Structure 1
């Protein structure tokens, strides 16, 4: 076999391997939807049955479902992490007037429908896994279709400078169900000026 032919075959093998990797590494849409549905079912069971649920026993007796937007993959984004050079601890206000301490770690920059967006990534001062982050946000659905005090996302760093933010997994704070609970208020940096039609809707008794 001629050297040129060997080289062409080698290149072809590399291309095929790359394409195969891309196809297998990409999440299957059906698997993704199923994973979100499973998580929503887990949320429902926790709220309905768990002893640590924010619902009172009377609320549990009348509780039949959590309401969500339809699952939309466009709301799962891979954001670029922009580190905050001078990290500091922020006393995040709670709904009862107290505060909780979080580290201002970095910003997550991404686009939805070609609109550039940015969220402040906070990290609990006691977080042991430094790839986990807390995102509290509000958007143009807040007080209308979703809880007026904002919603939360547990986000995880997925690359050296990237993080996955899945708005389909946005959930309500405990105070959305029971005002006896105190919840972190979204920082001003995380008040998005677009509607996010994803994740959990407002709780209605």
Structure 2
């Protein structure tokens, strides 16, 4: 976003209306931040539209009738992290438990190393093997995580972030895009449980908050 600030100084020796204009443009950092905020707000709007639509919503009819939007933390670019991405090519597929008796087949695709809130962290990132036969999921990666907001500001079972396979040795994780498992809204769904090794010992004040049933 660009803005212009105009200041007019009227001096006793100058005619009324004359003066200086000061033009201020945002720096590249500020522009990038503004663009990121817009992208976060777009994500929130798209998620709300999805939850309002009976064809795509996980909400039971009784909750969707009065649904006027999810509650989010305020967008915060401090929670957009560029992490070092350590690939794990020798990892063996494993079965991840869910909230039901079903299990999902996952592969530890890589480990993200990053700093957040003044601390060093790492998170495991998975490839869901059961989705690979669908074209839209060919480069999909799955990041489930827990943090110290769970059970208070956010859903007790943790949250998810959708990622794509990066080309280089880093991966961008935007915690503003963290969303709740469908089980937070409707117990009929079977949702992967977050592995304990993906517990962040800090508060992630970003993304979707817990759902308050109305």
TM-score over 0.5 (shorter chain): yes
Q: How much is the aligned-residue C-alpha RMSD, in angstroms?
A: 1.9
Cα deviation, 1:114-162, whole Å, max 9, x if unaligned, reads 2000000100113356643100001000011100111000123444111
Shift of 1:73: 0.5
Question: 1:63-114: CA deviations, max 9, x gaps?
Answer: 1120011111010001111122521112111011321011111100000122
- Show the counterpart of 1:76: 80
Partner of 1:123: 127
Q: CA deviation at 1:52?
A: 2.5
- Contact 1:156 1:164 survives alignment (8 Å): no
Cα distance in 2 for partners of 1:168, 1:28 equals 16
- Per mean C-alpha deviation after superposition, the further-off stretch among 26-35 and 133-142 is 26-35
Unaligned 5+ runs, structure 2: 1-26
Question: What is the match of residue 163 of structure 2?
Answer: 155
- Alignment length, in residue pairs? 183
Contact 1:155 1:166 in 2 (8 A): no
CA distance in 2, matches of 1:178, 1:79: 33
Q: Which runs of 5+ in 1 are unaligned?
A: 1-21
1:143 equivalent to 2:151? Answer yes
Aligned residue for 2:140? 132
Does 2:109 align with 1:105?
Answer: yes
Post-superposition Cα deviations, 1:8-45, rounded to whole Å, max 9, x if no partner, equal xxxxxxxxxxxxxx949x96222211111111011001
CA distance in 2, matches of 1:68, 1:134: 21
Greater percentage in helix: 1
* Structure 2 equivalent of residue 56 of structure 1: 60
Which of the pair has more CA radius of gyration? 2
On the 8 A contact 1:135/1:153 being kept in 2, the answer is yes
**Any residues of structure 2 matched to 1:183-194 within 5 Å, and which?**
183-194=191-202
Alignment TM-score, normalising by the size of structure 2: 0.80
Hey, what does 2:50 align to over in structure 1?
46
Query: How far, CA to CA, are the matches of 2:206 and 2:95 in structure 1?
Result: 28
- 2:90 corresponds in structure 1 to 86
Deviation at 1:49, TM superposition (A): 1.6
**Aligned residue for 1:195?**
203
SS in 1 for 2:153: coil
Q: TM-score, normalised by structure 1?
A: 0.83
Contact 2:148–2:201 (CA under 8 A) maintained in structure 1: yes
